[in-house]
Structure 1
Amino acid sequence: MTVTIDNAGFETADSNGVVQGWTTTRAIHASSEPGTVYSGKRSLLINRENSDTLLSQDVHAKPGIYDLSLMVWANGPLKDSRFEANGDAVPIASAGAVQIDGEKTWDEIRLEGVRVEADGELDVRIYVEPIASPDFVGYIDDVAIERTGDLDAAGDGGEAGASGSVGASGRSGMPIWQPVTVRGGDMQDQRARIDGLEDGYYTLTVMTRNPGGWRQCYVYAGSEPGEPDGTGDSHATGLARDDVRRAAVPRNAFRPQDKDKWKRVTVRGIVVSGGSLTVGVHAEGGTGSDVVCEFDDWRLERDVRQDGEPYRLYIGGDITEVPYVIDQGGVFRDEHGEPVDPIAFAGANGWNIVRIRVFNETGKGHGGDGWYIPGGYHEVADGLKLARRTKAAGMAIQWSFHYSDTWTNPGIQMVPHAWQRKIEGLGDDAAVDMLERLVYEYTADTLDRLNAQGTTPEFVSIGNETRSGMLLPYGSLDHWDALARFYNAGARAVRELCPDAKIIIHVDDGGNTRRYMEYFGAARDHGVDYDVIGSSFYPFWTQKSAKQFAQFATKVTHEFGKPIMIMETGFNWTGNNGAGYPGQLTNNGPYGGPETSSPELQRDFLIDLFNELRGVPDGMAIGDLYWDPVMIYANGNVHWSYRESDDMPGGNVVDNTALFDFDGRALPAFDAYRYNG
């Protein structure tokens, strides 16, 4: 339920442009200049003359739990500005999230879980800090309030302690076990058997407090657990069985002020057969008795959905660069330094899916913006070989069509050169007709070749990061009818050639709720055929945490009734790349700047992310694909592309985010995959 707030979009102003409807400590103006509003005709202007003020408004609302949001854009950092409601506050710490195409997008600031008590009072405040620079400019727009729950069903126990207070917060499920504490030192395994259950699919949740320091610490649940020493093992290191589910326990805090908070761990896809289930905790590698992990409020709930296959979280990464990296002299190694096949290694160490990207025709003369990808790489023939290696390693395939000869993202969606020749001289309508046919034929032919070699993909994405559209300018957002035809041409080929495959529409800026509501709302209005919402989520590009992404995922999956999969995510394991300068991700967003980057933090981020995805209600977050896990330094010989004019290499801006270090050795991040599944 949406709550009305007066002048939420700052549309009302007096003849001098002063904002009305809010109580302010000093007059503040609205902007109506083109390009300065998120929606409507005006926004709140922030600059040196319009700053150092508090805007407030008393809203009457039904008692309950509320989420508030606003949109902000700025050309510099806002460090001390705040968005407040009933004593809760979040910083408006945004410079406008800068996306890969250079667009400085509006950023959504969310204040969630605000309580409105029986008196119905909701005090909303926006504090704008003093601005000293004459060049600073920013805008705030579209304040929104939404009721999300009742007081007696509020909270997830994030700040509660023992099971009494956690359980009282309204969590669902049957309590099944007593509190458990494990301490560093020798390997520990504690378990309990639950009898008298109805067979079917279940979800287990437990509140945890883990400050970190473990080599492995996970919760498990299964009908036939083995022995903790590995005999018939179904949960210990390096082995897994289909009837056991595991969830690595995330750190409860990435900030010092959160050190006493509890975090919920979710285990989905549990299959109970024979009426019994064993749940447990496995931990080892803690450095000393001061390393402690606490577990409380164990709850088991039978899933509402009991048909089809049990829930599965797909976790893996993009392997497209493997042939190129190896041809450039790159060597992949395990943690002990022994050379390995990176695809087989990933499949044996927790991955259950890979992403394979395909471009139409790479090579010199086929680039974009003056840069090209070496010929033969990233093409269909290259992808077919990778698909065979993937299936041999026992993993699923996410096949990504780019419909371009080079990289695509919101800043570049270039029509393939061969297709450009086919539409040359045609009017726009005839060009759209031809491109629609070419999308279908190319997609169908490629999928037919995948089927013929026994490597049918489980997921197929139609385009890559198509926030601005695809096959531009014909499929731009100004031409949604044409864009929908392109999407549906690819979808029709998938339905005909790979009827069991799930179709993905992939957009960047994951975490921006309103962008996704608008984009996938337009897709719905235009009848686009797809199954899964694909999203790129990088803490750097979005400046959002895993928890914030999960909150976003909950809203968009509920709105559209479709699951979400992260198609790309990346995180620095060290501040600079192999050449000694900052890479593409200059920081890790809410997780810290380059000085805090470490292999352990990269691992802990992934553990946190996987847990947050499993916690999205109804199992509607189904996977995460890392980018780029394999684009290693390789003595400086690996590059993202080469310049058309002189073949100068363009460098490698992601080797400090890979899952292998500069020497090709596997990083601790693989523990996040090993102990989840």
Structure 2
Amino acid sequence: MKKLIIATGMLFMAATGCKKYEMPGNTPTTNPILENMIRGADVSWITEMEAAGLKFYDTTGKATDGFQLMKDINMNAIRLRVWVNPAKGYNNTADVVAKAARAHKLGMQLLIDFHYSDTWADPGHQTTPAAWANQDIAGLQTSVYDHTKSVLTALKDKGIIPVWVQVGNETNNGMLWPLGKASDHMDNFALLINAGYKAVKEIDANIKVIVHISNGFDNGLFRWMFDGLTENKANFDIIGMSLYPSTNEWQTPNQQCEVNMKDMISRYNKEIMLCEVGMPASSPVATNYFIRDLYTRLHNLPDGKGLGIFYWEPQAYNRWENYGLGAFDATGRPTFAMDAFR
């Protein structure tokens, strides 16, 4: 997701509000489609934001704990990224466990997102952790296994068992480059996934393992990746996607994403999760429509294999870290975009 933090200003300069949409006058307060769906948020920045003095408020202006606010918005799941040895400490094991404990106390389900890096991992960046830099593929398999097992054990020791675990983040071309770069070494990438998978299942066989790539509208990319992983006997339970359309063009990517999701189910018989979505914070009405439309498409997938959606860092406001795709306004309150989860 780091690519979008850098490029938001350039990519979405044209997203100037909600001119194309009117605020619905009779929007229902509840949506029955959502009842059995994952309604999630990745809030991995939250401890860093709190340390910087930022606060969060409900729609009445009452200061509210960020996790409680997500619960009040009708979120039922939290996603947290994990870095190996991050420079500032945030997203390391201790920080992840502390955030997970807050979500767990509120009865929220948990998705743990392993980046297998000391910093951002995304389609353009899959940098091997410094401590693993000189390892061969066998050593990297051991490191992936040990790191995954260590973090999940720390959670288990607190009585916390995630429902889902991502083995890699937006791995459009594999992870742990260069040895795990899929276009050069699809077999190695499959070995690394299987190392993470093994560690996850040893913690709890019921945890579902996700392979996550971005551009959920790009069926060619998904076929290439999951054909390759299947041929190399990679083990996973769920296909994860990201989707970040522009304000005025979300309908076509949503339609393309639905076609892709149906194809993934037909080809691989896997469940589907939208692990990351987002649109400009300046366009809450369009974002609301975008999310509601996605939920309808997920609901209509064959055999109930559409699991739900995680909004990426909705609580990031005032362009925190130059990110402009949150779903809170400049006062730290959730916008109408978040009503799509009610």
TM-score, normalised with respect to structure 2? 0.89
2:304 alignment partner, one of 619, 623, 629: 619
1:395 alignment partner, one of 108, 111, 136: 108
- Alignment size in residue pairs: 323
Q: What residue is the counterpart of 1:473 in the other structure? A: 178
| Residues 408-455 of structure 1, C-alpha deviations (whole Å, 9 max, x = no match) | 1111100101112x53xxxxxxx1111111110111111111111011
Distance 2:280 2:127 in 1: 29
Distance 1:212 1:335 in 2: 17
Q: AA paired with 2:215?
A: D
**1:326 and 2:50 correspond:** yes
3-state SS in 2 of match to 1:450: helix
1:495 alignment partner, one of 191, 198, 201: 201
Distance 2:162 2:42 in 1: 14
Q: What residue is the counterpart of 1:453 in the other structure? A: 158
Mapped contact 2:167–2:211 kept (Cα < 8 A): yes
Mapped contact 2:127–2:176 kept (Cα < 8 A): yes
1:653 alignment partner, one of 299, 314, 323: 323
Q: 1:466 to 1:387 in 2, by over 3 A?
A: same
User: Cα distance, 1:568 vs. partner?
Assistant: 0.7
Q: AA paired with 1:358?
A: V
Q: What residue is the counterpart of 1:439 in the other structure? A: 144
Q: What residue is the counterpart of 2:17 in the other structure? A: none
Q: What residue is the counterpart of 1:313 in the other structure? A: 37
Distance 2:101 2:5 in 1: 33
Distance 2:338 2:315 in 1: 13
Q: 1:215 to 1:406 in 2, by over 3 A?
A: farther
**1:344 and 2:68 correspond:** yes
Distance 2:238 2:5 in 1: 24
| Residues 301-334 of structure 1, C-alpha deviations (whole Å, 9 max, x = no match) | xxxxxxxxxxx31011101000111111211111
User: Cα distance, 1:499 vs. partner?
Assistant: 1.1
| Residues 624-644 of structure 1, C-alpha deviations (whole Å, 9 max, x = no match) | 1111212222xx7x42xxxxx
Moved more, 663-672 or 560-569: 663-672
Q: AA paired with 1:653?
A: Y
Q: 1:604 to 1:321 in 2, by over 3 A?
A: same
User: Cα distance, 1:101 vs. partner?
Assistant: 11
Q: AA paired with 2:114?
A: F
3-state SS in 1 of match to 2:64: coil
Mapped contact 1:100–1:411 kept (Cα < 8 A): no
Q: What residue is the counterpart of 1:668 in the other structure? A: 336
3-state SS in 1 of match to 2:303: helix
Q: What residue is the counterpart of 1:510 in the other structure? A: 216
Distance 1:268 1:337 in 2: 26
Q: 1:378 to 1:268 in 2, by over 3 A?
A: closer
Distance 1:661 1:667 in 2: 6
Any residues of structure 2 matched to 1:165-314 within 5 Å, and which? 213-214=24-25, 216-217=27-28, 246-247=31-32, 267=33, 312-314=36-38
Q: What residue is the counterpart of 1:599 in the other structure? A: 284
Distance 1:464 1:416 in 2: 14
Any residues of structure 2 matched to 1:134-153 within 5 Å, and which? none
Q: 1:390 to 1:608 in 2, by over 3 A?
A: same
Mapped contact 2:281–2:328 kept (Cα < 8 A): no
Mapped contact 1:553–1:564 kept (Cα < 8 A): yes
Distance 1:349 1:383 in 2: 22
Mapped contact 2:316–2:323 kept (Cα < 8 A): no
User: Cα distance, 1:539 vs. partner?
Assistant: 1.4
Q: 1:504 to 1:417 in 2, by over 3 A?
A: same
3-state SS in 1 of match to 2:127: coil
Q: AA paired with 1:350?
A: N
**1:540 and 2:225 correspond:** no
Mapped contact 1:348–1:393 kept (Cα < 8 A): no
Mapped contact 1:401–1:460 kept (Cα < 8 A): yes
Q: AA paired with 1:411?
A: G
TM-score, normalised with respect to structure 1? 0.46
Q: What residue is the counterpart of 2:121 in the other structure? A: 408
Structure 2 unaligned regions, length at least 5:
7-21
Mapped contact 1:484–1:527 kept (Cα < 8 A): yes
Distance 1:623 1:397 in 2: 13
Q: AA paired with 1:599?
A: P
User: Identity of aligned pairs, percent?
Assistant: 31
Distance 1:486 1:568 in 2: 22
Any residues of structure 2 matched to 1:93-108 within 5 Å, and which? none
RMSD: 2.2
Q: 1:215 to 1:662 in 2, by over 3 A?
A: farther
Distance 2:121 2:90 in 1: 15
User: Cα distance, 1:268 vs. partner?
Assistant: 8.1
Mapped contact 1:562–1:620 kept (Cα < 8 A): yes
Distance 2:156 2:337 in 1: 33
Considering Cα pairs closer than 8 Å and 6+ residues apart, tell me whether 1 or 2 has the greater RCO: 2
User: Cα distance, 1:671 vs. partner?
Assistant: 1.6
Distance 2:339 2:246 in 1: 22
Distance 1:505 1:533 in 2: 5
**1:384 and 2:89 correspond:** no
Q: AA paired with 2:176?
A: L
Any residues of structure 2 matched to 1:9-158 within 5 Å, and which? none
Mapped contact 2:315–2:334 kept (Cα < 8 A): no
Structure 1 unaligned regions, length at least 5:
1-98, 103-210, 219-236, 238-245, 248-266, 270-311, 364-374, 424-430, 575-597, 640-651
User: Cα distance, 1:670 vs. partner?
Assistant: 2.4
